Amino acid sequence: MARARTVVEQPEGLVFRRGFLSEDEEHELLAAIGPLEFRTTTMRGQTARRTVRHYGYDYDYESYGKLVRGQPLPDWLTVIRNRGASFAGVDPDDLVQALVSRYPPDAPIGWHRDAPMFGVKIVGVSLRAASRMCFQRTVSGLRHVLELELPPRSAYVLAGAARSAWQHSIPPVKELRYSITFRRLRSERWVA
């Protein structure tokens, strides 16, 4: 049986900013990202089309479990992390994990909430190509949805209900796109 669907206002805790980066800043970031070695991810037995690079802590997508300390954030990433922390209203040192994702054409990321070991605020930065970020939540059998355009150089914060009660996804992208996601840890108990 199909569920009814309604388009809603922006979820509580979702903050969005166009022009978070200048074109020159984006160009410098892309120059730093270009030579990185990305790895594939597998979730629930499915290998994703997007590839990733972790800093601060490595995350095992298949186990949805413990984190392992990884490479420290490089200087070029620390600068953006500090600006993202200011945007989110958190201490930069609290954003201890960075995820650089590479989305080739037709690569999506399915419906999910970021893993529970990550803190109550998540900061994302969109690079190189536009995409959509979709949100969904079912309340009393009614599916609420929102689509947000993410132009290059934009940023968002997921906090409150946007972080904990809504799922989000990225539909297949049309062009090569990168994103940088900064996260806090809820507790060191998640670290192996």
51 in a structural domain: yes
Cα–Cα distance measured from residue 37 to residue 149, given in angstroms and rounded to the nearest whole number: 28
Looking at 20-24, 134-138, 170-174, which range is the least confident one? 134-138
Kindly report, residue by residue over 23-41, the tens digit of the pLDDT.
Answer: 999 999 999 999 999 988 7
Count the domains in the chain: 1
* pLDDT average, residue stretch 65-71: 80
Residue of higher predicted confidence among 46 and 81: 81
Q: How confident is the model at residue 184, as a pLDDT?
A: 85
C-alpha 119/C-alpha 181 separation (Å) is: 12
What local confidence, expressed as pLDDT, does residue 109 receive? 85
- Specify the pTM: 0.88
Is 191 a domain residue? no
**84-107 residue pLDDT tens:** 999 999 999 999 999 999 999 999
113, part of any domain: yes
Q: Within 10 A of 70 (CB to CB), how many other CB atoms are there?
A: 15
Q: Is 14 helix (H, G, I), strand (E, B) or coil?
A: strand
Say what percent of the chain tops pLDDT 70: 84
Q: What is the pLDDT of residue 79?
A: 95
User: Does residue 192 belong to any structural domain of this protein?
Assistant: no
Q: Give the range of the structural domain holding residue 182, as residue numbers without chain letter.
A: 5-186
Query: CATH no. for residue 67?
Result: 2.60.120.590
| Residue 85 near residue 116 (C-beta atoms within 8 A) | no
